[in-house]
Every structure is written in C-alpha cells, then in structure tokens.
A and B are shown apart, each in its own frame.
Chain A
Amino acid sequence: MQPEFEPTIQALKKEFNAQISEFRGDVSAIIPAENIVSAAKMLRDEFDFSLLSTMTAVDHWPEEKPRFDMLYQFTSVSKVLSLSVLVQVPGINPSLPTITGIFKNAIWREREVWDMFGIKFEGHPDLRRILMPADWEGHPLRKDYPLGYEEPQFTFNFEEIDLRKPYAKE
C-alpha cells in the first residue's frame, strides 16, 4: 500500500468501522451503508479526494446476502491516489442514501445505477431512467434479467421465425 493512503485508511477505520482490503496496490474499503454520505464528505473535505470518478454496482445473484455491491471510486487529483469504497446493499428493496449533495456528478451516475440495477437513491433530486426508454420495465444489468431478446434466425428455423417476426408494413 502506498504510504500516502495511511491517514485516509486510519480515519475510515476509526470513524466508519471500515474493512480495508488491498489487491495489487488497489485499495478498497467496505463501509456500512448508512455512513456513505459522511464518508464521502470526509474524503472530499479532509483527504482531498476531489473527484468521484465512477459509480457502479455488482450483482451477486443468486447470492442474497448481500445481493448488490455498490462501488464508489474516489480520486485525489493532487495526491494521485484512487480509492474504491464498497457498500453492500440487500436484494429486496435495495436503496441507499444519495451523495448528490457532495458530488454533483453523482446525479447522472446514480440515475444510471438506478436504471441498470434498480438501486434506489433516497433524496436524489431527479431519479429517472437515463439510458433505457422511460417506459422500460426491469433493470437490464441484473443477473436475473432475461439475457437474449429474440431467438436467432438460422437456416433451419428461418421460416418459422419469419412468420412471427413483426415486420413493419408501411
């Protein structure tokens, strides 16, 4: 671990009971969901992690305990450091507090996570779909979402599919 990380890691452990792990120099911290807002505020104000470079989620379905990992990647431009913060989210009614009050770009990132994984962000100013059409049902990047959309058309089943394919008439 780079020595520059030490004060940040110690503070995260002390304040938010974080579990720290490291893999090939990439440091990640698992913190409880209720602490994410204050942790993001602390990282930005005290440790100079001024950039929220990405937000995404991981679906561990059919594992249910916990189903989702929410991942925040914070970057410190001045110290040239990058830190992952993971929050575990349960599969039933997944929701998290929003960090849009601390990082403005989280408005779009949280909309994307809501669109793709269906994790609700409490307090988000405008939580609607960002990538899929507004009337879309379901959240496509969930593991239990059906994979394919249409049966592929090969030589052996060409006519069968051709009959029921919804061609545009006019």
Chain B
Amino acid sequence: MGVEQKLANMGAVTTTLETVVNWSRTRAMWPLLFGLACCAIEMMAAEGAHYDMSRFGMELMRPSPRQSDLMIVAGRVSRKMAPVLRRLYDQMPEPKWVIAMGDCASCGGVFNNYAVVAGVDEIVPVDIYIAGCPPRPEALIHGIMTLYDKVNHEKIKDRA
C-alpha cells in the first residue's frame, strides 16, 4: 500500500514539474499571523486542536510577513489600517495568496461608512472570498481547500 508500490524496483517516479511545484506549495502554506476583528477568533479556533489546520500543513502562523505565503484577512479593515495591510502584503515573498475571510473583508459587510474599507480587494488582490459573519472554522478550512485546488491548477508560466 502506498508509494512503494509505485516505485517498483526503479527508485523513480515520473510526473510533471508543475505538479511537484504546486504540491509543495500547497503542503506547507504558512499563513500570516494577522487578525483584525472577530473573524480572527474563528481563525484561531480553526488553528486549534479541535479543527486542527495542521492536517493541511498549516500549523505555523508566521508572525513575520517575510516567512509567510498566505494572508488571511480576518476582519474589517479600517482606512487607517489599509496602508499597513498593503505594506505587509508587499513584504511577503512571492508566491503569495490572499484569502478575504468573512463579509467585512470581502465587501465591507454591515459597514458602509467613512472608516471601513468596502472590501479588501481594493487594497490587495484577493484569491478566495469566504462568506459568513464570522465564517465557522469549517468554512475557513473549505476556503483554504478551494485555494489549494486553485494552486494545484496554476501554470508556472502564468505566475512569471
């Protein structure tokens, strides 16, 4: 059972470079430790033992943007916070992805006023939007699985 059957006696497998690269990108996608509001509580719950995101190689939340691959915007972004968020995004090394978690990050949610940005996609390019106020940990994990699916279908030449 498992990989040794594929090996036969040759000690080699054939696959495409894209498959290997995308596989390695999804299996250790470290998110940036960055919570803005109540969605961050659900993000912490998803990271904790009960929902256990480390099953997907995401047990590490990196407090430094330079070590992280994924930005989970968990919460509403105020106008004053927006430049900070953009700066953190710019400090992340390529390749990088963004998840807008919850209604506020996706479109402003219940807020429509001078203080809150109406959707974080005005500041950073967003890959996945997760609906909910706040989304449950299952919804966040589903969003991350959807992102994995997206990454697995990426072409290397599209990123360059």
What residue in chain A is nearest B120 (Cβ atoms)?
A168
What residue in chain A is nearest B83 (Cβ atoms)?
A133
Interface of A is mostly: loop
CB proximity to A under 8 Å, residues B95-147:
107-108, 112-116, 118-119, 121-125
Closest Cβ of chain B to A166, distance in Å, is: 5
Q: Across the interface, do B122 and A167 meet the contact criterion of CB distance under 8 Å?
A: yes
User: How many chain-B residues does the 8 Å CB contact rule pick out?
Assistant: 17
Give the residues in chain B near A145, CB-CB below 8 Å. Answer: 114
Pick the residue among B80, B118, B121 that contacts A132 (CB under 8 A).
Answer: B80
| Interface size range of chain A in the complex | 10 to 19
Assuming A132-B79, A133-B79, is B115 touching A140 (CB within 8 A)?
yes
Pick the residue among A136, A153, A165, A168 that contacts B123 (CB under 8 A).
Answer: A168
Q: Across the interface, do B118 and A150 meet the contact criterion of CB distance under 8 Å?
A: yes
Closest Cβ of chain A to B136, distance in Å, is: 24
Q: Across the interface, do B125 and A150 meet the contact criterion of CB distance under 8 Å?
A: no
Q: Across the interface, do B118 and A149 meet the contact criterion of CB distance under 8 Å?
A: yes
Is A126 an interface residue when CB atoms closer than 8 A count as contact? no
Q: Across the interface, do A149 and B125 meet the contact criterion of CB distance under 8 Å?
A: no
Closest Cβ of chain A to B14, distance in Å, is: 35
